[in-house]
Structure 1
Amino acid sequence: MSKLFSPIAIGKLTLSNRIVISPMCQYSAEHGQATDWHLIHLGHMALSGAGLLFIEATAVAAEGRISAGDLGLWSDQTEAALARIITAIRRYSPIPIAIQLAHAGRKASTQVPWEGGKSITPEQGGWQTVAPSALPYGADDTPPLVLDAAGLQRIKNDFVAAAQRAHRLGIDVIELHAAHGYLLHEFLSPLANDRHDEYGGSLENRMRFPLEVFEAVRNALPDDKPVGVRISATDWVPQGWEIEQSVVFAKELQQRGCAFIDVSSGGLSPLQQIPLNPGYQVPFAERIRRETGLLTIAVGLITEPEQAETIIALRQADMVALARGMLYDPRWPWHAAAYLEDQVDAPKQYWRSQPRELKTLFKQ
């Protein structure tokens, strides 16, 4: 058996293999509600043979959407729309389902990517953004409103309420989005947080609000519900958030019952300089795993089965996550299993599709 296709437990949940489908924004919701596009897209991914399927970054409040097309989970209407999708997936696929709960902070209120992705004002159909400090992401963006004590409590409550809705929907794993320059990451990074109260300044203070949100969510859910966090291990900008601080943050999360760390990077500043190469973020996941013992997910330009197998075999990470690679090849786990001479789950309706020379590819 290959290491990539060996099972792994996240708490009491066992995944059949170490392949994770990353949360990928589709910008195709209507008023935060999942649509038929999500039924097609997530249904497609649910038949891939991966070990875990993440629903895209899902806003905990309308103001927390990146764009007006973002998926949300803040109301009975958004919950019901997502319930329809999950019910359909459960009928035909045993794949465990995760969700990434998010608030975009100062990076909210933008066009969808295929329309340019630029920040838009309330007068242009957008909305007022909020953040730790009145520092816009782009020089021409409308400055965000600074969150006061009431605003912080409201957002904390929004995360908790969304997590409880996700639990009611039967979602297996919950991840909090503290990466890519969105709200929780903004509190962590000194490039976006220049507060002078207990939520700014020192590393301890900058971590305070994200840790409070995690604790609130963790305490609102059953003990056996895995709750993890996606982080940006570095901002790729001098004087910004970096790997040493990420290790400290991961240790603090670990003490509070964090089940895993999903390790990405960047997104906080347009000044970032990212040295893109295959698996460029894997060393961050490896270091966090080594120094904390937490389960880690490596993500970022992981495209080849042998590459993924090596990451797991060398214990650089416990799982690997694919995003664009899965969009391009939704049967990537099938092809990886064939390459590694292993087996993968597939729906009975597709069993006849395996090539004759791979007649044992699908588990039956």
Structure 2
Amino acid sequence: MSEKFPHLFTPGRIGNVKIPNRIVFLPHYTAIENDDNTIQDAYINYFAERAKGGIGLLIIDSQAVTFSAKMATKYIHAYEERVIPGYRKMSSEAHRHGSKIFVQLSHGGHTTLTHPPQLLYAPTQMSEPCCHYNTKEMEIEDIKEVVEGFATAAKHVKEGGFDGVDIKGASHDGLLRSFISPYFNRRKDEYGGSFENRMRFPLEVVHAIREAVGPDFVFGVRVCMDEFTSWGYGSEEGKKIVRAFDETGEGGCVWDRHAEEG
């Protein structure tokens, strides 16, 4: 394999984080969190075993930035301080085996499933196209709550000894992407209409995270480059989205992701 992929086992770098090789373990839902939405030993051991196997970078599955962000009943509450001890134990295990470790933070928006049921946050009140759940058009106070939630959660990740943050939600699903999309975002205020207005909320999240974690902590944003629908945006607007994140000057990275709406 090393002959076919000569760079696979060479060191890499994301920002100031040096990664021992180019093998990345991507986030996926495990359902082995504690019932109280904190980290249990089985969860830590699951990722520690991957680190033992030689993974260069582990990205831990999506975690909630507010209660409204949860995409399942068992979901880590990254916005609560009580997760930090588990974070520290988890990051120490990864580092002990030579891996770097990021946490993915997200707000599911119209793809969120919570218990007990509640209206799902969205830029505009409309039936969610995949499962036809009803949604709640976010008030300005709701937007501010989510921005603060991302910042608080990122701060907890840093305090927990992790090496970086992966922001999900501007990718194939999630609240940030729905604000960017002209199909989902039909608002008439400063958060809707023009491209600049539709990018306002996601960029506020980026600014808030950078302020919370300081200038050197690494974070990246997953971006949907093309919605692949007749009513969604295409790759040209996807390029504009990447440039908008890049031009913030906040030093974050952009991971691209194509999407299909169900």
Of residues 19, 24, 42 in structure 1, which corresponds to 2:47?
Answer: 42
Of residues 65, 71, 74 in structure 1, which corresponds to 2:70?
Answer: 65
Output the amino acid matched with 2:256: V
Aligned to 2:32: 28
Shift of 1:219: 2.1
Aligned to 1:195: 187
Over the aligned positions, Cα root-mean-square deviation in angstroms equals 1.9
Asked if 1 retains the 8 angstrom alpha-carbon contact of 2:87 and 2:161, the reply is no
Shift of 1:242: 2.2
Aligned to 2:110: 106
Shift of 1:185: 0.7
d(CA) in 2 for partners of 1:266 and 1:32?
Answer: 29
Note if 1:95 corresponds to 2:99: yes
d(CA) in 2 for partners of 1:83 and 1:72?
Answer: 15
Note if 1:223 corresponds to 2:227: no
Asked if 2 retains the 8 angstrom alpha-carbon contact of 1:98 and 1:172, the reply is yes
d(CA) in 1 for partners of 2:138 and 2:113?
Answer: 17
Note if 1:136 corresponds to 2:140: no
Shift of 1:83: 3.0
TM-score between the two structures when normalised by the length of structure 2:
0.90
Shift of 1:142: 3.3
Q: Secondary structure at the match of 2:157?
A: helix
> CA-to-partner distance for each residue in 1:157-197, whole Å, 9 max, x for gaps?
00000010011011111121121220111111122111111
Structure 1: stretches of 5+ with no match in the other structure: 111-121, 271-364
Aligned to 1:263: 256
Which segment drifts farther, 170-179 or 132-141?
132-141
Change (3 A) 1:79 1:154: same
Structure 2: stretches of 5+ with no match in the other structure: none
Note if 1:76 corresponds to 2:67: no
> CA-to-partner distance for each residue in 1:46-102, whole Å, 9 max, x for gaps?
123222110111111121011112222111223333333333333x31211111110
d(CA) in 2 for partners of 1:156 and 1:23?
Answer: 22
Of residues 117, 123, 129 in structure 2, which corresponds to 1:126?
Answer: 117
Change (3 A) 1:15 1:88: closer
Shift of 1:200: 1.1
Asked if 1 retains the 8 angstrom alpha-carbon contact of 2:246 and 2:254, the reply is no
Of residues 168, 193, 203 in structure 1, which corresponds to 2:159?
Answer: 168
Asked if 2 retains the 8 angstrom alpha-carbon contact of 1:229 and 1:258, the reply is no
Highest Rg: 1 or 2? Answer: 1
Output the amino acid matched with 1:58: Q
Asked if 2 retains the 8 angstrom alpha-carbon contact of 1:59 and 1:74, the reply is yes
> CA-to-partner distance for each residue in 1:226-274, whole Å, 9 max, x for gaps?
121011211111131322112111112112234322222225x32xxxx
* Over 6 Å off, 4+ runs: none
Of residues 138, 143, 146 in structure 2, which corresponds to 1:152?
Answer: 143
Aligned to 1:86: 91
d(CA) in 2 for partners of 1:34 and 1:135?
Answer: 35
Aligned to 2:60: 55
State percent identity of aligned pairs. Answer: 26
Asked if 2 retains the 8 angstrom alpha-carbon contact of 1:31 and 1:68, the reply is no
Q: Secondary structure at the match of 1:25?
A: coil
d(CA) in 2 for partners of 1:95 and 1:156?
Answer: 30
TM-score between the two structures when normalised by the length of structure 1:
0.66
Output the amino acid matched with 1:107: T
Aligned to 1:4: 8
Q: Secondary structure at the match of 1:218?
A: helix
Output the amino acid matched with 2:218: P
> CA-to-partner distance for each residue in 1:18-43, whole Å, 9 max, x for gaps?
22111111133223212233123211
